[in-house]
Chains A and B, each alone.
Chain A
C-alpha cells in the first residue's frame, strides 16, 4: 500500500514543542518528558538551530485526535438542520477576523464542526455513512468543513447489487463492485448499516435478527455481512468492514450482536491489510447493541455478556457511542429504527429513501438523567469501556450526534478516569436503574492518560490503517495536540472537572504542521482534505461489473450514470490512498 498526494503545503518552518509530557501509545511513549519536532508539516527527529521553540513545559502532548465514527457531512445533516432550526439557535457565535459565525449544538454548521473539533485537539474525523447516490453532496459539504482530514464510508449493506451478488455468494463481483464504488463515491471503506433492514424499510418492514431475509431478495443479513467482509479482505482495504449491526436499540438485541461477531470467525485478513490492522470487522456504537430483556419494561444491561464475548474475539474492534445526557439529534441509515424511536418518543420525525441503496431517518432525542432508559444507555456505554480489556480495540465515540455531540468527549474522558465521579453520579444524579440493572457501580477500573491517548488516537489510526497519523513517529504528518494539563500535578480520579476542563480546549492544535489553535484560540483556518481509497488491479473486473449492472441502473435509478460518480472537481485537495488489491 502506498500513499500519495499526502501533504498540502504547511508552514515552511521548523518547530520544537519543548518539554511536553508526551503520550504516544503507537510508540509506547507513556508520559515521558521530551521534545517533539516537526518540519514542513512532517514529524522529524531533529531540526536545525533555527527551529522555533514552543514552550509546552509540563503540558500533555499527544497526536491529534481521530474520531472513527461521526456524522458530520451529507444529506441527513442538511435535512437535520432544516427540520431542527431550534438546534441551530444553540451555540451561535459571531464571526471574527479568523472565523466565520457558528451555529448549532448537536448539528453544528459546517464551519462550526471544523472549529469545534480543532478546539478539542482533533485532526481527523470519519464521516460514517455516505450513500453513494448522495456522495457528491457529501463531498461538497466536506469541502465547507475546515481544519480536518475527512474520510467517508460509503454504504453497501442494503445496496441492491450487493444483495444480489451476496445471494449468489459471488465474492469476486462484490469486490469489484466495492473497488468501483470507492472510486465513484471517493470513499474510504465499507460501511454496513442494519444489513437488509433498511431495504426492508422500503416495504414498511425491518429484519429481526441476523438470519432474517430482506423482502424480495432472498438473502439474509448474515450472508451480506460475510460476503462484504470477504470482499473487503480480498481487496486489502486499509479498513475492515464497519458495521452497525441489526436490531440497534431494541431490548434483547444481544444475541444478534454476538451472532454478528461470530460470523467473522472464518474470515481471513487480507494479506496487505494484515500488516496494518488486526481486525476484520469494526462494530460501531456497541452500546446501542448491548441490551438484554424483552421490552423496555424488563430491559437490562447486556454489556457484561457482550464485552466477555468481544474480549475473546481478537479480530473485531469497536467504538462505543457513549450517551452524554444531552438533547441531541439522532440520524441514521437505520430508518426503521428511527421510526421505532418516533413511536416511542412522539417527537418530530423525518424519513428518507435513497433509491436502490439505503434509507435514512432523523428524530430529536432527549437523553435525560431522570429517564431510566437514558440512564441505562449511559451506564452500558461506560460498562463496555471498562469491561473491554484491550484499549487498542475500543474507541471513544458518541456516534455524533446520535448519543450526544462530539464536544462532550472531554466529559466522557473525565468519567472514564474517575470512579469517584461515576459513583457520585450513580448515587446522586441518574435514575436508580443504574443500580438495579447494570454493573456500573461495581466497576472500579479507571483509565489513565495513556489509555485515553490509545482510545482517541492510536487505536482509531490502527483500525483505519492510517500509516501517517495517530502517532508522533518521524515521517508521519505533524498532527499534534497539546493540552493545558500537568499529569504530575493532577489526580484525574479526584479532579474529574479539571480533566474535562483541560481536554475541552487544546492549548495547541497542529495539523500538517500548521498551528491552527494557539493559546486555546483558533488562529488559523485550513481547508479540509477528503481521504479516499483507490484500489488498483481490479480495473477490468470493475468495468465488467459496471457493464453487468448498467441495464438495472438505467431502469431503477432516477439519475443518469454519467451524473452519478463524484467527479474530481467535487473533491478539491484530496488525499488518495492507493491500494494494491491483488
Chain B
C-alpha cells in the first residue's frame, strides 16, 4: 500500500492488563507528531498511562489523511487489544500475535497480523482487508452480542485455524480460513461467503438464511436443516469458481433459508456413501435417487 507517513511502535515493556489501541488508528493519528504521542495516555483497564511508557514511537514522513499512514507495531502485542478498531483507511502491520478485537468494525484500510489473533477479530467489519497469518479464536467476522448483522463487507483471511462461530450473522464480505474451523461457522448468516480450506468440526450454517459456505475439507456433522441438492462441478460461488466436485446443500430449511453449503466431494466421500451408489459422472444425487 502506498503510504507517506510511517509510525513505528517499538515495545519497551508489556502490561499484564491489556492496552486499548482503538484511539490509535490512522483516522485519529495521521497528523500526530512524536510530541503528540508523548502527551497521549493509553487506556489500560479503568486508568490511562503514557503510551511512551510502553512504546518508543517513531514518526517518519507526512500524511494528509488516514490512507497515507502505515503503522508498524513491533514487540509482544499479546496484551494489546482493539488494534485497528473502527479504522477507515491506512495500513497496520503487527509483527506479533495480538489480543482481542483486532480490526473490529473497520471500514477500510488493511491490517496484517504476523502471528495469532485472539477472539473477536474483524467483528462487524464493513470494509477493508484483515489478514491473520496464524490462528484466531472465536467470533471471527461475527456480530457483537445482540446484533443480527455481523460483518457486512471487506475480507478476512486466516492463515491458520478459526474458532467457534466464525462469520456469525455474516451479512456481506468474505472470510477465508486456510486451516480448520470450529463449530457453527456461518450461523445466522444472510449473505457473503465463508471459504474453509481445512476440516470443520460440525454444524456450519445453522439457521442461515442466505449466503454461501464452501468447505474443502471434511465436515464432522451437518445439521438436519440442510437439504441435499446434488453434486455440482466447478461451482461458481459469489463470483469465484471452485474447481472440483462438491456436494451442494440448501438450508437452513427451519427458517426457509436459501443458503448454499458446498462440501468437497472427495473429502466427504463417506457422506456420499450414505446417499447410495453414485453414477460415475457425480451428476445429481437427487436425479440418481429418482431413478
Contact = CB atoms under 8 A, between A and B. Distances in A.
Interface of A: 83-87, 89, 347-348
10 contacts: A83-B146, A84-B146, A85-B145, A85-B146, A85-B147, A86-B144, A86-B146, A86-B148, A87-B146, A347-B148
Contacts of A87: 146
A571 B148 CA distance: 38
Contacts of A348: 148
Interface string B142-160: 0111111000000000000
Interface string B113-157: 000000000000000000000000000000111111000000000
A83 B147 CA distance: 10
Contacts of B143: 86
A84 B143 CA distance: 13
Among A84, A85, A86, A348, residue most surrounded by chain B Cβ atoms (within 10 Å): A86
A279 B125 CA distance: 52
A104 B232 CA distance: 47
A253 B222 CA distance: 46
Contacts of B145: 85-86
Contacts of A83: 146
Contacts, number: 16
Contacts of A85: 144-147
B153 to A, nearest CB: 18
> Top 8 nearest A-B pairs by Cβ distance?
A86-B147, A85-B146, A86-B146, A85-B145, A84-B146, A86-B144, A348-B148, A347-B148
A85 B148 CA distance: 11
Contacts of B148: 86, 347-348
A89 B146 CA distance: 10
A89 B147 CA distance: 10
Contacts of B147: 85-86
A87 B144 CA distance: 11
Contacts of A89: 144
B142 to A, nearest CB: 12
B117 to A, nearest CB: 21
A446 to B, nearest CB: 38
A347 B146 CA distance: 11
Interface of B: 143-148
A344 to B, nearest CB: 15
Q: Is the interface of B mostly helix, strand, loop or mixed?
A: loop
Nearest to A85: B146
A246 B137 CA distance: 50
Among B143, B144, B146, B148, residue most surrounded by chain A Cβ atoms (within 10 Å): B146
Contacts of A86: 143-148
A85 B103 CA distance: 20
A549 to B, nearest CB: 40
Contacts of A347: 148
Among A87, A89, A347, residue most surrounded by chain B Cβ atoms (within 10 Å): A89
A83 B146 CA distance: 6
A86 B147 CA distance: 5
B64 to A, nearest CB: 28
B254 to A, nearest CB: 13
Given A86-B144, A86-B147, 14 more contacts: A83-B146, A84-B146, A85-B144, A85-B145, A85-B146, A85-B147, A86-B143, A86-B145, A86-B146, A86-B148, A87-B146, A89-B144, A347-B148, A348-B148
Nearest to A364: B148
A83 to B, nearest CB: 7
Nearest to B144: A86
A84 B149 CA distance: 13
A307 B145 CA distance: 43
A83 B145 CA distance: 9
A104 to B, nearest CB: 12
A288 to B, nearest CB: 24
A120 B12 CA distance: 48
B220 to A, nearest CB: 29
A348 B148 CA distance: 9
A84 B148 CA distance: 10
A234 B242 CA distance: 77
A358 B266 CA distance: 58
Nearest to A84: B146
A348 B144 CA distance: 15
A90 to B, nearest CB: 11
B26 to A, nearest CB: 22
B36 to A, nearest CB: 20
A347 B144 CA distance: 16
A347 to B, nearest CB: 7
Nearest to B124: A86
A347 B147 CA distance: 10
Nearest to B209: A346
Nearest to B149: A86
Nearest to A348: B148
Nearest to B145: A85
A250 B288 CA distance: 49
Nearest to B43: A94
A386 to B, nearest CB: 35
A87 B148 CA distance: 11
A547 B145 CA distance: 48
Nearest to B255: A346
A40 B148 CA distance: 51
A358 B147 CA distance: 29
A461 B60 CA distance: 63
A395 B146 CA distance: 34
A555 B238 CA distance: 61
Contacts of A84: 146
A105 to B, nearest CB: 13
A348 B145 CA distance: 13
A343 to B, nearest CB: 13
Contacts of B146: 83-87
B190 to A, nearest CB: 10
Nearest to A87: B146
Nearest to B143: A86
A169 B68 CA distance: 77
B189 to A, nearest CB: 15
B209 to A, nearest CB: 9
Contacts of B144: 85-86, 89
A87 B147 CA distance: 8
B52 to A, nearest CB: 22
A212 to B, nearest CB: 32
A466 B187 CA distance: 53
A479 B144 CA distance: 41
B232 to A, nearest CB: 29
A85 B147 CA distance: 7
A348 B147 CA distance: 10
A341 to B, nearest CB: 15
A181 to B, nearest CB: 35
Nearest to B105: A89
A114 to B, nearest CB: 24
A83 B143 CA distance: 14
A290 B227 CA distance: 44
Nearest to A94: B43
A84 B145 CA distance: 8
A86 B146 CA distance: 5
A367 B197 CA distance: 40
B40 to A, nearest CB: 16
B22 to A, nearest CB: 12
A86 to B, nearest CB: 4
A192 B145 CA distance: 35
A44 to B, nearest CB: 47
A89 B85 CA distance: 14
B111 to A, nearest CB: 21
A85 B143 CA distance: 11
Nearest to A81: B146
